[in-house]
């Protein structure tokens, strides 16, 4: 989350995206539209609570956008893994003791949108305990599982190398440390198009090419 200040007297006309400013000080929150194609499309929310630090913090954190997926059991986790493999995305797994979602996870789910897939796995859900055992996790932890694009070759397996082994975050739990970890393991660019859409587009183009060739042959 980033905080900006706009001086209505010295900074010139207010950007149109902020809407009408009836008085100062005015507080507004801009968050990416959930189903938008890019983070540039925003929803604007006016702040109407008391001007106290606790209220302002609650307002900001409650409205922080999130693409983190809550996992409730092995079946949901299998679907999560299938989605990650389908799009070739690295899985960032936030293992937590409680249901409360990390604000850091929410932040990075937007900051690295379409470059990672993030899951929140709570130990308090008994259905998730098998997942904790699967990854050998106790308590709070963050792991990244590389995407299927780095899947093992036969030589890797025969020589004991496993490129899909989870990598644990062992740095200092702060924004700088976590950002470095995400930057290192996230995709360099966003996944732009769904695999099915791309395949259908190619099939459509091939069909149109064949039709054009047939038309040409008929005319000749």
Q: Average pLDDT of each block of 10 consecutive residues along the chain (220 residues)?
A: 77 77 82 70 85 88 88 96 94 92 90 94 93 92 79 46 78 94 95 61 60 52
Name residues whose C-beta falls within 8 Å of residue 181's C-beta, 6 or more positions apart in sequence: 142, 144, 169, 171
Shared domain for 82 and 57, answered yes or no, is: no
Q: Are residues 44 and 74 in the same domain?
A: no
In which element (H, E) is residue 117 found?
A: strand 117-122
- Ranges of beta strands (E only) in 17-90 are 28-32, 42-46, 69-71
Give yes or no for a cis peptide into 8 (omega within 30° of 0).
Answer: no
| pLDDT score, position 128 | 95
The parent domain of residue 49 ranges over 16-62
Evaluate whether residue 210 is within a structural domain: no
Give the per-residue pLDDT at 203: 63
Question: What pLDDT score was predicted for residue 17?
Answer: 75
Number of H helices, E strands in the chain: 7, 7
Give the pLDDT of residue 96: 94
In 3D space, the residue among 30, 98, 36 whose CA is nearest the CA of residue 70 turns out to be 98
Question: What is the rounded CA–CA span in Å between residue 136 and residue 134?
Answer: 6
CB of 67 closer than 8 Å to CB of 119: no
Q: How far, in Å, CA of 137 to CA of 95, rounded?
A: 8
Which CATH number fits the domain that encloses residue 84?
A: 3.40.30.10
Looking at residue 36, its pLDDT comes to 65
Instruction: Tell me, yes or no, whether 170 and 74 share the same domain.
Output: yes
Q: Would you state the pLDDT for residue 37?
A: 66
Total domain count, the chain: 2
Residue 42 lies in a domain: yes
Instruction: Return the structure tokens found at 181.
Output: 């970890």
DSSP string, 81-94: HHHHHHHTPPEEEE
């Amino acid at each position: 989350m980033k905080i900006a200040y706009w001086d209505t007297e010295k900074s010139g006309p207010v950007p149109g995206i902020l809407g009408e400013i009836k008085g100062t000080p005015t507080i507004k929150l801009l968050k990416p539209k959930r189903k938008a194609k890019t983070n540039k499309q925003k929803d604007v929310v006016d702040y109407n609570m008391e001007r106290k630090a606790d209220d302002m913090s609650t307002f900001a954190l409650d409205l922080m956008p999130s693409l983190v997926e809550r996992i409730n059991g092995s079946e949901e986790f299998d679907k999560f893994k299938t989605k990650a493999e389908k799009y070739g995305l690295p899985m960032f797994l936030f293992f937590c003791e409680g249901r409360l979602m990390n604000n850091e996870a929410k932040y990075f789910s937007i900051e690295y949108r379409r470059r990672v897939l993030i899951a929140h796995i709570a130990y308090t859900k008994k259905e998730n305990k098998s997942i904790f055992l699967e990854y050998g996790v106790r308590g709070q932890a963050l792991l990244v599982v590389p995407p299927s694009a780095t899947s093992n070759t036969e030589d890797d397996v025969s020589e004991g190398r496993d490129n899909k082994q989870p990598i644990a975050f062992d740095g200092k739990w702060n924004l700088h440390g976590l950002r470095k970890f995400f930057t290192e393991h996230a995709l360099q660019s966003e996944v732009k198009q769904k695999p099915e859409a791309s395949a259908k587009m190619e099939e459509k183009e091939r069909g149109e090419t064949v039709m054009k060739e047939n038309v040409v042959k008929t005319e000749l």
